[in-house]
Each structure stands twice: as structure tokens, then as C-alpha cells.
């Protein structure tokens, strides 16, 4: 049993990660601005309402934690397409500094296919249409996020899922660690959550940037 902090736990991959972690017996601290709205009741779950960009909130959430899983996301609308965001870089800077103060070493962070050196591996439509027209400005901030993590001195894993779906967990997804294997594809949020918990339970992916596809 491990004590996990899930940052961005109220929806999407974060919520699926909370569910998966509880199902296999971990203690989970679910951190989000709307953590009190999480419709899960479990003796192993603690819900903490807070802002991932607020150092005091993150400091409080880290007490007694062994592993941090960062699953922040944004809805990409016209504003984000044009102006981008700074959520990922600001929150990650706050998080890694707080982890250093607390002595928490293990960080698993979700970015996405197209972040950092995975850009250009998504396939023709993804790389030439979806990425430049929809995702480019948001992923500029994910690039900064990844750089902060790599330079943090933490025991990190950066997870880059392909196109996310609302499908069920299948367990049949692929974990592509080597750069020459990276490619585009879809994967359910539930399968991403399954991998995040696997990574939290193992040292196999330390310092790795696996791409996940179904």
C-alpha cells in the first residue's frame, strides 16, 4: 500500500487514477479545486480542495505522501488555441519546489504526445492538422512543464498519452518507451490511469518518457 497524491483529481485522467488506485488498495489524497465534488466515498480516500498554483495548498497536500501523480488538464477552446495557457508550467514549478521542501522524491506527470521531443510522432493528421491548429499553444506550456520536471532532481516519469477517449479500461494498451517506436493512436483515460498506478508501484519507468496508445 502506497500513499498517493493525485493533483488534478476531480475529472478526466485524474479521477480515473483515483478510482484505479483505490481499487488496488492504495491510500489516495485527491487534490483539485473541486475535490469536494468527487462522487467517490472510500475509507482510503481523502479529498483536498486547493489550487495547484498556490504553494501553501500544495505544501499541505504533500504531508505524508510517498508518490505524486500530476494529471492536470485544460479544455482547449478558442481562447486556449489563440493564447495558450500557463497552468502546466506554473503548477509544476510550485509542485517540484514543494516536493523538494517536503522530501517527496517520486513524481509521475502526464503531458501528452507532441510534448517535448515526442513532437512529430503523432502521424500525418495529428502532426499537420490537429497539433498546429488546436494544440500548439497549449503544448508550448507543456514543453516548459517537461523541462521543469527533467531539471527537478526528482525521481520522475513523464507520461505522454495519445488521443484520449472515454472508453473503459482494457489493459491492452501499449507502452512505447523507445523513441523509434513512438506513434500516434487513441487510448482511454482509464487505461492511462492503469499505467500511472503501475508506474507508481515500480521503478521500471524512472527517468523515462513513455508514449501510451491503445
In this prediction, residue 81 carries a pLDDT of 67
Q: Cα(79)–Cα(144) distance, rounded to whole angstroms?
A: 19
Supply the pLDDT for residue 136: 86
What domain count does the chain have?
1
- Specify the CATH number for the domain of residue 157: 3.40.50.720
CA distance 139 to 79: 14
* CB atoms closer than 10 angstroms to residue 122: 24
Q: Domain residues for 51?
A: 3-213
In the chain, the N- to C-terminal Cα span, in Å, equals 28
Q: Nearest-CA neighbor of 120 among 73, 186, 207, 179?
A: 179
Q: Measured in whole angstroms, how far is the alpha carbon of residue 194 from the centre of its chain?
A: 12
Tens digit of each residue's pLDDT, the chain (214 residues): 789 999 999 999 999 999 999 999 999 999 999 999 999 999 999 999 999 999 999 999 999 999 999 999 887 777 766 677 999 999 999 999 999 999 999 999 999 999 999 999 999 988 888 888 888 899 999 999 999 999 999 999 999 999 999 989 999 999 999 999 999 999 999 999 999 999 999 999 999 999 999 9
pLDDT value for 36: 95
Question: What's the whole-model pTM score?
Answer: 0.95
Amino acid at each position: 500500500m502506497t500513499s498517493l497524491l493525485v493533483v488534478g483529481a476531480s475529472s478526466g485522467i485524474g479521477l480515473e487514477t483515483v478510482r484505479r488506485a483505490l481499487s488496488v488498495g492504495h491510500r489516495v489524497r485527491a487534490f483539485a479545486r473541486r475535490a469536494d465534488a468527487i462522487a467517490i466515498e472510500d475509507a482510503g480516500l481523502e479529498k483536498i480542495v486547493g489550487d495547484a498554483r498556490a504553494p501553501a495548498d500544495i505544501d499541505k497536500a504533500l504531508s505524508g505522501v510517498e508518490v505524486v501523480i500530476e494529471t492536470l488538464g485544460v479544455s482547449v477552446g478558442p481562447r486556449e488555441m489563440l493564447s495558450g495557457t500557463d497552468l502546466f508550467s506554473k503548477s509544476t514549478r510550485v509542485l517540484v519546489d514543494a516536493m523538494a521542501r517536503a522530501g517527496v522524491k517520486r513524481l509521475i506527470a502526464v503531458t501528452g504526445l507532441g510534448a517535448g521531443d515526442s513532437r512529430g510522432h503523432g502521424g500525418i493528421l495529428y502532426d499537420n492538422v490537429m497539433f498546429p491548429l488546436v494544440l500548439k499553444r497549449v503544448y508550448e506550456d507543456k514543453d516548459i512543464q517537461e523541462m521543469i520536471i527533467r531539471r527537478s532532481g526528482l525521481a520522475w516519469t513523464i507520461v505522454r498519452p495519445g488521443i484520449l477517449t472515454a472508453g473503459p479500461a482494457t489493459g491492452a494498451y501499449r507502452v512505447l518507451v523507445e523513441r523509434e517506436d513512438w506513434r500516434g493512436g487513441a487510448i482511454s483515460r482509464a487505461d492511462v490511469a492503469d499505467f500511472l498506478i503501475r508506474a507508481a508501484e515500480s521503478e521500471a519507468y524512472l527517468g523515462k518518457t513513455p508514449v501510451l496508445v491503445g
